[in-house]
Structure 1
Amino acid sequence: MRTPAPLLVVGDALLDHDLCGRAERLAPDAPVPVVSAARRTSRPGGAALAAWLAAADGRPVTLVTALGDDEASEALVRLLAGRVRLIRLPLTGTLSSKTRILAQGRPLLRLDDGEGSAEEATEEACRAVAEARAVLVADYGRGTADVLREALTAAAARVPVVWDPHPRGNPPVPGVRLATPSATEARGFAARLEGGGDRDGDTPRDAGRPGAAAGEPGSPGGGLQGAARDAGRLVRGWRVASVAVTLGGRGALLSHGETPLLVPSPVTAEGDACGAGDRLAATAAGLLADGELTETAVRAAVHAATRYVAEGGVRSLAVDAAPSADRPDCGEPTDDALRTAARVRAAGGTVVAAGGCFDLLHAGHVALLQAARRAGDCLVVCVNSDASVRRRKGAGRPLVPLADRVRVLRALECVDAVAVFEEDTPERLLGELRPHIWAKGGDYALSRLPEASLVESWGGQVVLFPYLDGRSTTGIARRAASSPRPVHTAGRRRP
């Protein structure tokens, strides 16, 4: 297993708060909702959130940001302790803090405090940029990227740099490997290049991010044609290698200046999109640090951002900061599956599980898994180990070893995680996962599943899904074995 490469995050840190409660009536003195039983939570925001998420992928992360001696700055330092290494720049004013008021999980109001900005670069910060193997710039328009612009320009000529821009900030430095504006942001940046825009707006950072509502056809800059045009202009005008314009639930459009590549979201994710842009940028920057191609990094980043929203977004941060199941070949598959299920359950989502040998994955398997994923907020596939398959199917099985079966399953867009069980049946594993839905093919309709009572014991439900007739691993193997063998013609000329 490859060790994740270290990542340097440069940008403007924020401190975010959520006040979550219930709104069941209007105030008697004004037509406004009354939020009761509110619970307050705090978390890193801005560049600090991007650094937190990158560290959650299991990689060493250093954050260069401006902090002061105010209460918000010190609270943020405590939240980041033990997770990321901090390099502090001097801050003028107080750290920016944002408070969201939510009812039934939906934002009603946001309060902003503090307008602090980075005062100047330091020798330690410049040295960190000069020595970095990869850099993520999380620009929130508060000056950190500006005071380090000369060092970042030199870094972009040497190592991968991902730049997540802000409408109030300056353009990325030339040579950036990847810039990641939302569709609305890209429209504004392109207009600015043409001389028709301004920098006074404060577009929501996650408008147009995977899982967000913005970016659909008809929204500002949301059409594919408009996004492609804007991305091409930004590649040329900013002199960057590529631009990935995020399109909400449709995914992202990656442009190198010519014909763009559409990277679709694996599923439609409904939920709180706050921080989805940071999740996308952190994933892409980390994979570029590991030596992946830009297209590979963007594809994984879209999947990670979509999954982040589906699993509850920022509400899941306190549950687990361990390596993410979005990263291929990172950690044991069963551990990843348990963490994924815990995050979704803690965020109030629905955990779906399905099981089987999945030896010679075929269309029937895929149809079942796609239908199961649509029934909830994540899908965990429970797969038999090689020994378990042999006991169930005979000495000649499995045809495909476990490592390959897991790799193929994890590559499916509808699969969020894979767990392995050694026993003949998955009851022990199900007891750990505790899914809300246990999905099985319709061919079990006339029998009582042995695990049904177990799933029902914690309030779960066994659900049958239609099965495609005529598809089976055994049938495929039998037809392959009985097909005529090709005649070897080595040394013979073709007529």
Structure 2
Amino acid sequence: MERDIMDDDHTDRDVDAVVVGDVMLDSWLRGPVKRIAQEAPVPVVSVEATEEAPGGAGNTAANLVALGARVRLIGAVGDDACADRLGRALALLGVDARTVTVPGRRTPHKRRLMVGEQLVARYDEEDREPITGAAQARLLAELERALPGADVVIACDYGGGVCTPAVREALAGVPLLVVDAHAITPWRACGPAVVLPNYGEVLELLREDGDVADRVSFLTQRSARLLAESGAGMVVTTLDGEGTLLHRPGHPPYRTYAEPAPDHMATGAGDTYTAAFALWLAGGATPEHAARAAQAAAGVVVRRPGTATCTRQELLRELRRTGGRADGPVQAADRLAHRLDGHRRRGQRIVFTNGCFDVLHRGHVSYLEEASRLGDVLVVAVNSDASTARLKGPGRPINSCEDRMSVLAALTFVDYVTGFDEDTPERLLRMVRPDLYVKGGDYTPDMLPEAPLVRAMGGEVMVLEYVSDRSTTAIIERVRSLPAPDSAGPR
């Protein structure tokens, strides 16, 4: 069991963190479209709400505070109203902001115009020239005062002019330096402990095109080169919806998986990942555990619109929900196959079953619990809504596939849940390669169309009995036969 990520709460440590880099203000303007402009055929958005939050290095610092760290933020702002609003937002979040004011410079400000969850436009105000002269001297002095006693230093270099050569020189030799930078090469001389490039930044570092279908395989094959080119002790390559790959010398790349993409627009999950990874590492976690905790934290904020933070309690709750697995019991087929390879290497017996599970009842629970006792890992595959409708007819399913999978995932004896669109789970069976294929019902194994495939792959087939007089169809018919409630009666 992979329990150690939760057994030691690495966020519950007295960690001092310094964040240095490009701070900005994120604004979200929201409202409906009620007409088209007279000046041009463009929508007129009636802004009804404006949300503001620190972005960039400010968001990383805010996430560190939310996760329980003591944080000093070093950056530069302009002498404008935006800087005042950014300062107030940082103070409300508990960030000790030691920003340097640069006369004549604009504070970076990103505004996003939203209609519902649709981004209509984004417009930025910023100056990206490097900080020089007296302003740089003041910033270096603030950095020098902040560094002593720091357990971890995070550099957020988005090309906004704060992370100059002089700043990088001041950070050279910092024991635990975590770098989130658009350009990795300039940081090589610092010998950072960790760099966290996205896929595009990796391609720039490697000077390759990288237009490939399988980005994970592409990066896995270049793991050693990534480490050499970056000059870092570890490299975390972030792949958005595909999760991350952790590269470190002497170890195969370690992968985490992202949550499914939300219906709304969220930003800053990368800042949350960086903050949680750095904090967990500073607290004494292994890099693999830090990566899993960071993915879980990113999963929390990606479910929220706008620029958000993940608190320590939310992260611990997420880790408890997933049993320490950053991607949880409900998984896509490719993630599931990868996970099961690990269980198989540990000699664990994999049991697979499938069904619609439209209205979960005692018969389902009984046979699933029995199935779990026949092996070490129980995988439950669920027919999609379209597949269930084809199999069960009009009016089905009663509950959506997402709801059905969530209920099954809540059963303590179910380890993994996945969905499939076909009428039979043959494609999944080829990916999972179970040791035992189990079905509940009143037929024999030879009656199952999947039996020959399972046996050809070396697996066994078994049929378990449902509890008598229990069926989804009967329950639905019984409910539909009940008289309609009196609309005037009690509810």
TM-score w.r.t. the length of structure 1 is: 0.59
Per-residue deviation, 1:15: 0.8
Taking a change above 3 Å as real, the CA distance of residues 154 and 217 of structure 1, as seen in their structure-2 partners, is same
Secondary structure of the corresponding residue to residue 53 of structure 2: strand
Residue-by-residue CA offset, 1:65-107 (whole Å, 9 max, x unaligned): 1134321111111011151112223435121111111122121
* CA distance in 2 between partners of 1:95 and 1:169 (Å): 26
Matches within 5 A, 1:306-345: 306-309=299-302, 311-314=303-306, 316=308, 322-327=311-316
Per-residue deviation, 1:28: 4.8
Pick aligned residue for 2:102 from 86, 91, 98? 91
* CA distance in 2 between partners of 1:303 and 1:230 (Å): 26
Matches within 5 A, 1:148-163: 148-155=167-174, 158=175, 160-163=176-179
Please say if 1:14 is aligned against 2:24.
Answer: yes
Taking a change above 3 Å as real, the CA distance of residues 29 and 145 of structure 1, as seen in their structure-2 partners, is closer
CA contact (8 A) 1:216 1:250 kept: no
| Aligned counterpart, 1:55 | 65
| Aligned counterpart, 2:118 | 106
* CA distance in 1 between partners of 2:51 and 2:205 (Å): 34
Taking a change above 3 Å as real, the CA distance of residues 37 and 366 of structure 1, as seen in their structure-2 partners, is farther
Q: One-letter code of the match for 1:325?
A: E
Q: One-letter code of the match for 1:295?
A: E
CA contact (8 A) 1:179 1:240 kept: yes
Taking a change above 3 Å as real, the CA distance of residues 326 and 413 of structure 1, as seen in their structure-2 partners, is farther
Taking a change above 3 Å as real, the CA distance of residues 240 and 169 of structure 1, as seen in their structure-2 partners, is closer
Taking a change above 3 Å as real, the CA distance of residues 369 and 65 of structure 1, as seen in their structure-2 partners, is farther
CA contact (8 A) 1:373 1:379 kept: no
Gaps of 5+ in 1: 197-214, 334-353, 385-404, 415-441, 449-495
| Aligned counterpart, 1:171 | 187
Identity between Structure 1 and Structure 2 (%):
27
CA contact (8 A) 1:264 1:302 kept: yes
Secondary structure of the corresponding residue to residue 315 of structure 2: coil
| Aligned counterpart, 1:351 | none
| Aligned counterpart, 1:188 | 204
Taking a change above 3 Å as real, the CA distance of residues 96 and 37 of structure 1, as seen in their structure-2 partners, is closer
Pick aligned residue for 1:30 from 28, 31, 40? 40
| Aligned counterpart, 1:375 | 402
* CA distance in 1 between partners of 2:471 and 2:35 (Å): 47
CA contact (8 A) 1:186 1:231 kept: no
| Rg larger in structure | 2
* CA distance in 1 between partners of 2:278 and 2:247 (Å): 17
Secondary structure of the corresponding residue to residue 80 of structure 1: helix
Please say if 1:268 is aligned against 2:236.
Answer: no
Q: One-letter code of the match for 1:269?
A: A
| Aligned counterpart, 2:276 | 283
CA contact (8 A) 2:72 2:97 kept: yes
Please say if 1:245 is aligned against 2:263.
Answer: no
Q: One-letter code of the match for 2:96?
A: R
Matches within 5 A, 1:204-219: 218=213
Secondary structure of the corresponding residue to residue 40 of structure 1: strand
Pick aligned residue for 2:150 from 132, 135, 146? 132
* CA distance in 1 between partners of 2:227 and 2:168 (Å): 19
Taking a change above 3 Å as real, the CA distance of residues 29 and 141 of structure 1, as seen in their structure-2 partners, is same
Residue-by-residue CA offset, 1:19-59 (whole Å, 9 max, x unaligned): 11224654454332332344211110110011111211122
Per-residue deviation, 1:375: 1.9
Gaps of 5+ in 2: 1-8, 322-359, 385-398, 419-468, 477-491
Per-residue deviation, 1:238: 2.3
Secondary structure of the corresponding residue to residue 304 of structure 1: helix
Secondary structure of the corresponding residue to residue 148 of structure 1: helix
Taking a change above 3 Å as real, the CA distance of residues 326 and 361 of structure 1, as seen in their structure-2 partners, is farther
| Total equivalences in the alignment | 346
Taking a change above 3 Å as real, the CA distance of residues 42 and 21 of structure 1, as seen in their structure-2 partners, is same
* CA distance in 1 between partners of 2:383 and 2:179 (Å): 34
Residue-by-residue CA offset, 1:264-299 (whole Å, 9 max, x unaligned): 325423242411111111110110111111121112
| Aligned counterpart, 1:336 | none
Please say if 1:293 is aligned against 2:282.
Answer: no
CA contact (8 A) 1:244 1:254 kept: yes
Pick aligned residue for 2:53 from 43, 67, 81? 43
Q: Which moves more between the two structures, 126-135 or 244-253?
A: 126-135
Taking a change above 3 Å as real, the CA distance of residues 368 and 64 of structure 1, as seen in their structure-2 partners, is farther
CA contact (8 A) 2:63 2:275 kept: yes
Per-residue deviation, 1:225: 3.4
* CA distance in 2 between partners of 1:91 and 1:171 (Å): 24
* CA distance in 1 between partners of 2:266 and 2:318 (Å): 26
| Aligned counterpart, 1:465 | none
Q: One-letter code of the match for 1:108?
A: V
* CA distance in 2 between partners of 1:72 and 1:53 (Å): 21
Taking a change above 3 Å as real, the CA distance of residues 151 and 168 of structure 1, as seen in their structure-2 partners, is closer
Q: One-letter code of the match for 1:289?
A: A
CA contact (8 A) 1:250 1:265 kept: yes
* CA distance in 2 between partners of 1:249 and 1:186 (Å): 16
Q: One-letter code of the match for 2:173?
A: A
Taking a change above 3 Å as real, the CA distance of residues 368 and 52 of structure 1, as seen in their structure-2 partners, is farther
CA contact (8 A) 2:297 2:315 kept: yes
Per-residue deviation, 1:177: 1.9
Q: One-letter code of the match for 2:98?
A: I
* CA distance in 1 between partners of 2:64 and 2:379 (Å): 31
* CA distance in 1 between partners of 2:296 and 2:156 (Å): 20
CA contact (8 A) 1:251 1:262 kept: no
* CA distance in 1 between partners of 2:185 and 2:122 (Å): 21
| Aligned counterpart, 1:66 | 76
CA contact (8 A) 2:266 2:307 kept: no
Higher RCO, 1 vs 2 (CA within 8 Å, ≥6 residues apart): 2
TM-score w.r.t. the length of structure 2 is: 0.59
CA contact (8 A) 1:65 1:88 kept: yes
| Aligned counterpart, 2:163 | 145
* CA distance in 2 between partners of 1:325 and 1:373 (Å): 27
| Aligned counterpart, 1:235 | 227
